[in-house]
Structure 1
């Protein structure tokens, strides 16, 4: 259980304090309720571009990293389809430095054309290196629009195409900032060797003067039910043929999510999983695994594998389908379910050893609408039954609900 206390500032910023006096450090995590799903289809990649711009200086602080490094702090950020997350870890005695830095860029980001020019080049280079010039790097650029036809999950966080980043202008940047980077569109978690009263005073000093804004109401299109299988074939200079099969599933906090997540664990989490036998016993795959995307809106279960030399993708596809057919036909035993439950819970428990992870878990849950989600995960995992495993496996792993991509290695 992650203990916390909660209060809301007059400007709508929601604040959570997790006190842990066993450490000399503090973590400050701010999650903004904006991700790539909030972009327009002809202007994608903005949430990720903005993550970069937030480190380009603000009104009173031209260099974000320098003062933080002077007090022994570290920082980073990441963007997903659902959120943009910023975090700092530093000695707790220097906590106010984090408040000063984060509040200044929330209040008054530096809209400097030189910074925009530089960060556009950085993001474009990242797009090329990680997605276009890396083996299998473009998989999700192709898989997302295959699986999603309506919902903005159909483009990757990096963006749909490079030109959207190249064509970004300062007016676009200002508009994005004032629509989304608002105190009443954010959740702040402060964790570590701090007190609630200390955090309240720092919040009143640094964050409360920032005015609330008009948060853009989310009106995201709903993805329709997939009623027929989809297929895509591509090729590139990659080491091995690969196959990707994706199935529509529930959102992260929807009913049945944990059961579906455990289905993916039974199929492909560990060396004792069903699909792993195709690696060790049948030697069809060089590697194979299964997982769920765990997005806030309905996501995907993914089965992916790289074929061994001399094995065709068609053989690999048929072998995966044999495993799925057997899984749907034969009930999961209590012993097998208990094993994957324990694996999932141990991952959760070990992750919460880290102070920053606890802060993030609270922030993500609060952003999803209920901070208690962070403390309910273990009980939700343990509550899953074998009947639910069968129910959601049958619902998810149908051929009509599947999008398949064959990724062939150029000969």
Structure 2
């Protein structure tokens, strides 16, 4: 159980404090409710670009990392389709350094044209190296538009195309910042050998004077139910034929997601799973294959990914996955395996909570999703899923009509 105190500043900043006097360090996690889903379809990649820009200097602090390192701290950030998250760990006696740094860049970036050009070039190079110039790197650039026809999950966090970052100008950057980087659009979680009173004093001192701003409404176009299978064959300079299959699933924290998490672990996680045993060990159709459930705030994906063995056709391999899934959904008794994967999930959850930063993140992410208590109850909801409920959910969502298939084929074949 992660205990916490809560207060909210007049400008809308939500602050959660988890006191742990036994911790050796303090964690400061600031979660902004903005991700790639918030971007304009013709100006994508901005949430990820801002992750970089936020380290390029703010109004009173030209170099973010330097004072933090002097205080014995570390920091990093990441962008997802739903959020942009910034986190710092440092000795508790230097906690105010984190408040000073994060409040200054929330209050205003430097908006230095040189910094913008530098960070644009960094992101452009990342786009080229990770998404364009390596085998299978363009997977989500091709797969997401097949899966999502209306919702902005249809592009990855790097952006829809590289030109959107290349053409970004300072007015675009300022508009994005003042639209989303607001105290009223953020959740702060502080954890460690701290007190709620001290955190509240620091929060009011450093964040209290920042204007609330006006939150942009999140009117995302709803993704209509998929009623027929979709399929894309793509030839590229890749070493092996590869199959990706994705099924639409419910929103994060919904009951159906927990059931699919468990089924994914049973069906396709590790070399003892039915998926691996049948298609790699027994039938030798794949050199490797796995399945996993991926959750997002608006809707998730159940993903199957396999690399074909030499001489196997894409059609044969694709059919074998569907047959294996059909057989798995007809199989009767997974009670013992269900108990095993639940135990593993519980162990991973408890092990993760040994890190003070992970506890701060769990609080921030649950609060951002609308129910901070999910930081504690989420694992309980997963444990409560029964065998029949798991199979029923899997049968409901893992259907042919709800399936999107991307087939990679080497150009030489």
Matched ranges for 1:344-359 at <5 A: 344-359=345-360
Q: What CA RMSD, in Å, does the superposition of the two structures yield over aligned residues?
A: 1.0
Please give the alpha-carbon distance, in whole angstroms, between the structure 1 residues aligned to 2:45 and 2:266. 34
Partner of 1:17: 17
Q: Report if aligned partners of 2:54, 2:109 keep a CA contact under 8 Å in 1.
A: yes
Please give the alpha-carbon distance, in whole angstroms, between the structure 2 residues aligned to 1:313 and 1:346. 38
Between 393-402 and 315-324, report the one with greater CA deviation: 315-324
SS in 2 for 1:156: coil
Report deviation, 1:316: 1.6
Report deviation, 1:237: 1.7
Partner of 1:274: 274
Report deviation, 1:312: 2.2
Q: Report if aligned partners of 1:3, 1:19 keep a CA contact under 8 Å in 2.
A: yes
Please give the alpha-carbon distance, in whole angstroms, between the structure 2 residues aligned to 1:334 and 1:390. 11
Please give the alpha-carbon distance, in whole angstroms, between the structure 1 residues aligned to 2:375 and 2:314. 40
Please give the alpha-carbon distance, in whole angstroms, between the structure 2 residues aligned to 1:19 and 1:228. 51
Unaligned ranges ≥5, structure 2: none
Partner of 2:5: 5
User: Deviations for 1:229-278, whole angstroms, at most 9, x for unmatched residues?
Assistant: 00001122222110000000001022311011112111111222111112
Partner of 1:131: 131
What's the TM-score once normalised by structure 1's chain length? 0.98
Between 386-395 and 154-163, report the one with greater CA deviation: 386-395
| 1:47 correspondence with 2:47 | yes
Please give the alpha-carbon distance, in whole angstroms, between the structure 2 residues aligned to 1:279 and 1:359. 40
Please give the alpha-carbon distance, in whole angstroms, between the structure 1 residues aligned to 2:142 and 2:297. 21
User: Deviations for 1:70-89, whole angstroms, at most 9, x for unmatched residues?
Assistant: 11111100000000000001
SS in 1 for 2:372: coil
Report deviation, 1:315: 2.1
Matched ranges for 1:9-408 at <5 A: 9-277=9-277, 278-408=279-409
User: Deviations for 1:281-305, whole angstroms, at most 9, x for unmatched residues?
Assistant: 3322221111122100011110001
Between 143-152 and 284-293, report the one with greater CA deviation: 284-293
Unaligned ranges ≥5, structure 1: none
User: Deviations for 1:172-212, whole angstroms, at most 9, x for unmatched residues?
Assistant: 11111111000010000001111111101111110111110
Please give the alpha-carbon distance, in whole angstroms, between the structure 2 residues aligned to 1:24 and 1:92. 8
Structure 1 residue ranges, 4+ long, deviating more than 3 angstroms after superposition: none
Please give the alpha-carbon distance, in whole angstroms, between the structure 1 residues aligned to 2:334 and 2:85. 39
SS in 2 for 1:399: coil
What's the TM-score once normalised by structure 2's chain length? 0.98
Please give the alpha-carbon distance, in whole angstroms, between the structure 1 residues aligned to 2:287 and 2:64. 44
Q: Report if aligned partners of 1:332, 1:389 keep a CA contact under 8 Å in 2.
A: no
Q: Report if aligned partners of 1:332, 1:390 keep a CA contact under 8 Å in 2.
A: no
User: Deviations for 1:123-159, whole angstroms, at most 9, x for unmatched residues?
Assistant: 0000000111122111111110000000000011100
Q: State the number of aligned residues.
A: 411
Report deviation, 1:410: 2.7
Please give the alpha-carbon distance, in whole angstroms, between the structure 2 residues aligned to 1:269 and 1:199. 41
Please give the alpha-carbon distance, in whole angstroms, between the structure 1 residues aligned to 2:388 and 2:53. 48
SS in 1 for 2:57: coil
Please give the alpha-carbon distance, in whole angstroms, between the structure 2 residues aligned to 1:308 and 1:21. 54
Q: Report if aligned partners of 2:34, 2:47 keep a CA contact under 8 Å in 1.
A: yes
Please give the alpha-carbon distance, in whole angstroms, between the structure 2 residues aligned to 1:350 and 1:127. 34
